[in-house]
Amino acid sequence: MDRSYWRTVSLIALWQVAASICYYTVFAATPFFRAEFGLSRFQVGFVVTALTLGYAVFLLPVGALIDRFGEYRSLLVGLVGLAAGATFVAGAPSVATLLAAAFFLGSAYASAIPGTNKAVYDNVAAGRQNLAVGIKQVGVTAGSGISALLVTGLAGVLFWQAGFLVAAVAAIVVAALFAVLYDGSGGGGTAEYPDFRSLSKNRPYRWLVAAGFFLGAALFTTTGYTVLFVQEEIGASVAFGGVVLAVVQLFGSGGRLATGWLSDALPGDPQVRIGSILIVQALASAALFAVVAATSSPIGATVAFAALGFFVLGNTGVYYSCMSTLVGSEEMGGATAGGQLSLVAGSIVAPPAFGYLADVVGYRASWGLLGAGCVLAAGLLVVAVRSEPPIDDPALAD
């Protein structure tokens, strides 16, 4: 692979790391929100929901603007917005302003997946794209892991807001580097919403998007409650919970790299081989949620969460790779927006439900809810893999 490939992919991945550090600070800080504002586990779920709701509301408008102005300007503005959002969360004086700041932070993160996916598919040659997406998606888990260590580690040394402020400064530095070094598309398209009417006729795409709801619910709720679970149920410190969350993200990064490589390397029909990888990830996640629910020691929890992270956080790259086998390249922007919207919809609904069950019944029931969702996702994915894409799509007929 040539130097141009690695330069482009590295810059995209670096952008994603900085963006995810800002965004995932909220997930790592849930114990501090609970202590600072007197929140229940159920109410903590609404902080995560506010974050992901902002993401969901702005995902389609931002996706349309990326088509119009190109990913270069959109990603720059998005990263500066993320820095501002992290600062706003750190300075929130009340629950209401905390929710508003989390919503703003989520809205700025709406530039991430459409912008970075467009950067990959516009600037990386076919045959290298699945690995590039896997590398880029590692930026999500790497950024989340770094944010977990930042927020929980600096809180013990300085104050709980310190990690947010460091994340904001890092985002500004990366934005400056990206502005100077990135050479991508400058836009010139039209600011149009995706043609969901056309995509709705694509049967396997519909099933994949439906599965995305449950995959997103599992992913975002896991990251949102790992630190709280380790602190309250396992009896470890918040700092140790931050380490466990970082381990989850580390193994999630490994899962994204491994499955991205397998998606390119395994033989057979792309729709079947990539879809089958995603099905295995969903079923393994369901089994590991049961294991996590049964853990009672810090070491056991670390091992269980590490394995869970490999599968439940390692599936987003394969999710989009699978999507690329079901839709034409000219529809990938809209398809990505629809698929990501489904992931985020799951993350809006699931955290409060998880927190409510944890308050009323216990954490075992909460993890069981996520596991059941993963089993349902696997069933939907089987239907997607077995369905035929529209035969009149010229891009899929090549």
Please write the tens of the pLDDT for every residue from 291-339. Answer: 999 998 999 999 999 999 999 887 877 888 888 788 776 666 667 777 8
- The CA-atom distances, in angstroms, between 146 and each of 167, 254, 395 are 9, 15, 39
Nearest to 278 by CA among 343, 229, 333: 343
pLDDT of 105 over the 90 cut: yes
Number of domains the chain contains: 1
pLDDT of the residue at 398: 39
d(CA 293, CA 297): 11
Task: Please state, in angstroms and rounded to a whole number, the distance separating the CA atoms of residues 25 and 331.
Answer: 33
Question: Quick one: how many helices (H) and strands (E) in the chain?
Answer: 16, 0
Does residue 383 carry a pLDDT above 80? yes
Helix (H, G, I), strand (E, B) or coil at 118: helix
In degrees, rounded to 5, the angle at the alpha carbon of residue 9 between the alpha carbons of residues 340 and 143 is: 60
Residue 261 confidence class, pLDDT cut points 50, 70, 90: confident
Interatomic CA distance for residues 162 and 149, integer angstroms = 12
Residue 392: domain span: 3-396
What confidence score (pLDDT) does residue 195 get? 62
Q: How far is CA 317 from CA 47, 181, 230, 262, 340, in A?
A: 26, 25, 27, 11, 12
Position 130 pLDDT exceeds 70:
no
CATH of the domain at 92: 1.20.1250.20
Please report, as a single letter, which amino acid is at residue 56: A
Instruction: Specify the DSSP class assigned to residue 126.
Output: T
Token code pair at residue 341: 């919207």
Tokens found for residue 69: 């102005």
Show Cβ contacts of residue 392 under 8 Å, excluding neighbours closer than 6 positions: none
- How far apart CA 253 and CA 255 sit, in angstroms, is 5
Most confident segment among 53-57, 77-81, 183-187, 239-243: 77-81
